[in-house]
Amino acid sequence: MKIVIVGGGLAGIQTAYYLLEDGHQVTLVERRNAVALETSFANGGLITPSHAAPWNSPGILNTLLKSMGRKDASIYVKPSALGTYIGWGRQFIRNSTRKRYNRTIARNFALARYSQQCFQRLLEQTPLEFFHEKRGSMMVYTTRAGFEEASERFDELKRQGVEAQICSSGELVEREPALASTASHLAGGVFFKEDEHGDARSFTQSLAAYLSQNGVEMRTGVRVDGFIRSNGKIAGVTTDQGDIGADAVVIGAGHWSADILKRLDVDLPVRPVKGSSLTFSLPSWQGAPKIPVVDDELHVAVTPLQDSIRIVGTAEFCGYDPEVKPARMAMLLRAGIAIYPQLEKEISGIRPELEWSGHRPMTPDCMPVLGHVGHDNLYLNTGHGYLGWTTATGTSKAIADMIAGRKSDLNMEHYGLARF
């Protein structure tokens, strides 16, 4: 079959990989001038099944109300953008009951574990060049109250099969010596053995190059405007550079997926939630961190990327706003120094290698949207939210299985659009 994929991020590129493996003629269309320029560009670089817990935990409504209009809050709700989230937000809150929260943990973890297995097989079968390590990750707490409040979540994760080791401050330092200067301020934390990290952008770019060399047509700088319809089916896409015919179309365009599907009068509940990152090149830092560390109370992660350190986090419900705001960069830097005080000395006189903001494609229940939409040859692979690299390999394999008529290893009903 001739298949068009819309979107050149982690989801679109990996969908192209699996469809090429199945022998299809694949054309990938990306609105930007290169792949991996949206959420894949400078994200946290985490492959973390341990992060299966959704953001809308019980009590999230109080958290959002407290942060309303507070630009210094790690979770920020912009009052003027509320219209973007009204219907979506009601569903987001509705999914924050304890029952639904635990159900989402189970489904996200099942998907993340499957995706991690698919990712390993992809790496074994494909010659790629990018930074990637499997050292686990850690979640740390500076207050006893925060640590105890999170214990119920860890219990549920362990029930689902996550390997989670509760650690004292001393045990955290044993695993990550760079935390030594913070040890006296740590109430404890958790080590997740199976987590991985790396450079999502270079992974996506390397895989895209491999696909180009093996027959996938990459159409970058092309904007999809709508769909070609014929005899009740989708016959391709219309673009600002002409029509592209297809036997099937896969939409994997992150938060832009919702705009594209409006052409079919489909209401896709995927909304942008802005995140930011700050990257420093620090090749001379002796004793630099080796393991990703998440401060769960600050909602910030610090990820080692070879000779660089990336500080990433915060969530802004602000609609689409690509501006990199200095106040957010300053907030990330303060959080990074709170985790690693020695970082302040290491970056003295050094400008950041990269300051970046991007938009997570979020659904109201914090799970991706997969499968058919409106037509039996139109497919969704979008809405991965904060678990992009963690789940996109598995969702891409599942879409290829669906197109081929193979039974998926996932329960696809859990992730379909019909659940909303």
Task: State the amino acid at position 189 in one-letter form.
Answer: G
- Tokens 């992660």 correspond to what residue? 301
Tens digits of residue pLDDT in 278-306:
999 999 999 999 999 999 999 999 999 99
263-298: buried (b, 16+ CB within 10 Å) or exposed (e) per residue?
A: eeebebbbbbbbbbbbbbbbeebeebbebbbbbbbb
Q: If you average pLDDT over residues 121-131, what whole number do you get?
A: 98
Distance CA 137, CA 59 (A): 26
Q: What is the mean pLDDT of residues 178-202?
A: 97
pLDDT exceeds 90 at position 175: yes
Q: Is 90 exceeded by the pLDDT of residue 149?
A: no
Q: Calculate mean pLDDT across residues 50-77.
A: 88
pTM: 0.97
Cα separations in angstroms, 318 against 85, 111, 271: 9, 28, 10
Q: Which region, left, alpha or beta, applies to residue 23 given φ > 0 means left and ψ of -120 to 50 means alpha?
A: left
H or E, element range at 174: helix 169-175
Q: Enumerate the H helices of 126-168 as residue ranges.
A: 144-160
The answer to whether the CB of 395 falls within 8 A of the CB of 111 is yes
Nearest CA-CA partner of 224 in 198, 250, 192: 250
State mean pLDDT over 219-225: 98
Q: Residue 299's closest CA among 27, 57, 7, 1? A: 57
How are beta strands 354-362 and 271-281 bridged, if at all?
antiparallel
Judge whether residue 79 has pLDDT over 80. Answer: yes
Is the pLDDT reported for residue 399 higher than 90?
yes
pLDDT of residue 151: 81
pLDDT, tens digit, 9 for 90 and up, residues 96-115? 999 999 999 999 999 999 99
- Domains of the chain, earliest start first: 2-41+202-267+366-419 (3.50.50.60), 50-109+123-194+271-362 (3.30.9.10)
The first and second tokens of residue 27, run together, are 């054309």
- Cβ atoms of 376 and 331 closer than 8 Å: no
At residue 262 the predicted structure's pLDDT band, cuts being 50, 70 and 90, is very high
Confidence band (pLDDT; 50, 70, 90) for 155? Answer: confident
**Residue 152 banded pLDDT, cuts 50, 70, 90:** confident
Q: Which of 278, 276, 259 is nearest to 268 (CA)?
A: 259
342 and 289 Cβ atoms separated by less than 8 Å: no
Residue 227 is predicted with a pLDDT of: 98
Q: How far apart are CA 371 and CA 360, in angstroms?
A: 20
CB-based burial of residue 70 (10 Å sphere; 0-12 exposed, 13-18 middle, 19+ buried)? exposed
Nearest Cα to 159, choosing from 195, 235, 116, 105? 105
Q: pLDDT at position 214, please?
A: 98
Inform me whether the pLDDT recorded for 69 exceeds 80: no
Bridge partners of 190? 139, 166
From the CB of residue 66, how many other CB atoms can be counted at a distance below 10 Å?
Answer: 11
pLDDT digit string, tens, across residues 339-377: 999 999 999 999 999 999 999 999 999 999 999 998 999
Tokens 């770019």 correspond to 205
Q: What is the pLDDT confidence band of residue 31, given thresholds at 50, 70 and 90? A: very high
Average pLDDT, the chain: 96
**pLDDT score of 71:** 80
Q: Using CA atoms in the order 64, 197, 117, 28, what is the torsion angle rounded to 10 degrees?
A: 80
Phi and psi torsions of 4, nearest 5°: -105, 130
* Residue 193 contacts residue 310 (beta carbons within 8 Å): no
As a whole-number percent, the residues of the chain with pLDDT over 70 amount to: 100
Provide the pLDDT confidence category of residue 68 given band limits of 50, 70 and 90.
confident
pLDDT at residue number 137 = 98
Structure tokens at 217: 């047509």
> What is the residue-wise DSSP string for 70-89?
-TTSSEEE-GGGHHHHHHHH
Q: What was the pLDDT predicted at 320? A: 95
**For residues 420 and 414, what is the distance between their CA atoms, to the nearest angstrom?**
11
Per-residue confidence (pLDDT) for residue 66, from 0 to 100 = 81
Binning pLDDT at 50, 70 and 90, where does residue 64 land? confident
| 308-317 and 300-305 strand pairing | antiparallel
